[in-house]
Structure 1
Amino acid sequence: MTCSQPTSSAYRGRFAPSPTGPLHFGSLVAAVGSYLEARSRHGEWLVRIENLDPLREVPGVSGEILSILDAMGMEWDGDVVYQNKRHKLYKAALATLERQHLIYTCTCSRKEIADSTIMGIDGPVYPGTCRGRSLHKGRLGAKRLRTDNKPIEFNDALQGRVRQRLESAIGDFVLQRADGVFAYQLAVVVDDAEQGVTHVVRGEDLLSSTPRQIYLQQLLGYPIPSYLHIPVAVDAQGTKLSKQTCAARLNAYDPVRQLMKAIRFLGQRPPAELINEDIASFWKWATENWKQEMIPRKTAEIC
């Protein structure tokens, strides 16, 4: 559902699901958290479909995501943005970094990287194998961004102070795959800047990605948004709810009950009788009573 008139506000948030499968409870938690942060501050809330990889996109899911958000009474501002229509923007940003001599072609396979490096906070640390190589012009490979070991620091609104040295924790990271698909790290930075996003609210599982994004923002001269990483929902085995683990899909039936569960997961304390009210009444109460300081910091098992 699109709001008829976007509000004029210094706060602009967003929800950016990937259409690799239907929304589940963990998706709803992220959507509700970002929505209430925006609406409680009289801000805008954008929706962006992150469909960079055509091989992973499930046909029809983008429309289903929007239908579920509509059924949940979540109104977005402006038009929905689709990443697969924004390749020119990503290509221009990559060209800017190439002019700074920060991009090189990498032909290493995943196995080669795994066999020759150590594990970091987000998988194998790329050891810089191709950084100094002279490859034949036009040879296919991934486009990597040179990093350094200067600390990237930021203050997360919930998780507190975060500090990371990219070269030792991550290594030079991919901005465009060998098959031409742009990487999430580049696309999300370009999109947030181009859309004027001021506040990013998302799952704590993406916290380790934020220093890479701030590094890109600095190199590209983009403003750095405020970040808030909320807890992610896990199952009884401690595994994050996701499409890959076949988490139960949301449905359009009884939306208030599902929304009540989501805000309770986020530490809010709605009155029990609210479950019998309509969606408009739910959102009125939730927006007026939203308290960021009540959000728990870490992952939690759903009931």
Structure 2
Amino acid sequence: MNITVLGAGAWGTALAIHLAQRHPVTLWARNAAQVAEMSRLRANPRYLGDYVFPEALRLESDLHAALHSADLILSVVPTAGFRSILREIKASGCKAPVVWANKGLENGTSKLMHEVISEELPAGQLRGILSGPSFAGELAKGLPTAITLASSDAIFACEAAAAMHGGTVRIYSSTDVVGVAVGGALKNVMAIAAGISDGMGFGSNARAALITRGLAEITRFGMALGGKLETFMGLAGAGDLILTCTGDASRNRTVGLRLAKGETLDEIITSLGHVAEGVHTTREVFNKARELGVEMPITCEVHAVLSAGRSPRTAVENLLNREQKAEHY
């Protein structure tokens, strides 16, 4: 199977390295200079260190050339660029199935990526989402990883998962596109909250509470949109949430840690070097939750820190001072 991976950031490159161990893979990036550097070094030092590319991995900066013989397209461009890349895929005439691995809600519309793709590609063009607990460096290193591929077409979900499954990577199939999408997007919001808590030295008890109640928020939000409860208890829900809220490689947790130390959001974003999807996702989730009437106190406090200048300490105090109630989802 010829697979084209769109987006040569850390995650896109790591997925391309994994897939090229079993398939011919083309890794596309829009920046021709970056592609030339990767071709020369056979690595992506800018985003993924010195992990060496397999021989079956080809580099390309021309999108039409990258899509020409694709049997499967894996889009790993940032959420902000997802709609535009879908339009370019459509304009190219390529009818290959599209799986996306970016996580978030679209800026300004609060739409999840399955809603965006439904608006931009023909209904008959197969599509799915790949998500779950996975740091790019560990995947590239060949460490054990388990993730989920969801599609409303159960047969495609199984076939696409089987094509990507292998080696140290285990891929489960699902038909709950909404649940997998929500889990992948909202865990980044909760990771910012966990980073704030850790950065202020509130300890392991507080982190565990944030993760658990964060999962409750994610579940309420996702089920209001039609997601399934079992998805939020699985890899794309609890699994991804735990990893992102505790792992040192989490960009969104890093944002929270640095906010707690007194850095401004602009300073953090400028120096981070990678996209932290949770920053934009928080605003969109906040707006969508109000529209749905879903209670999301952690999201509200993170939004106030990011967008309204609320101090991290005040945000945590507000959460602690909420009225006592029975625990429920």
Task: State the TM-score, normalized to the length of structure 2.
Answer: 0.30
Q: Which has the higher strand share?
A: 1
The structure whose RCO (Cα within 8 Å, separation 6+) is larger is: 1
User: Could you say which structure has the larger radius of gyration?
Assistant: 1
Q: Which has the higher helix share?
A: 2
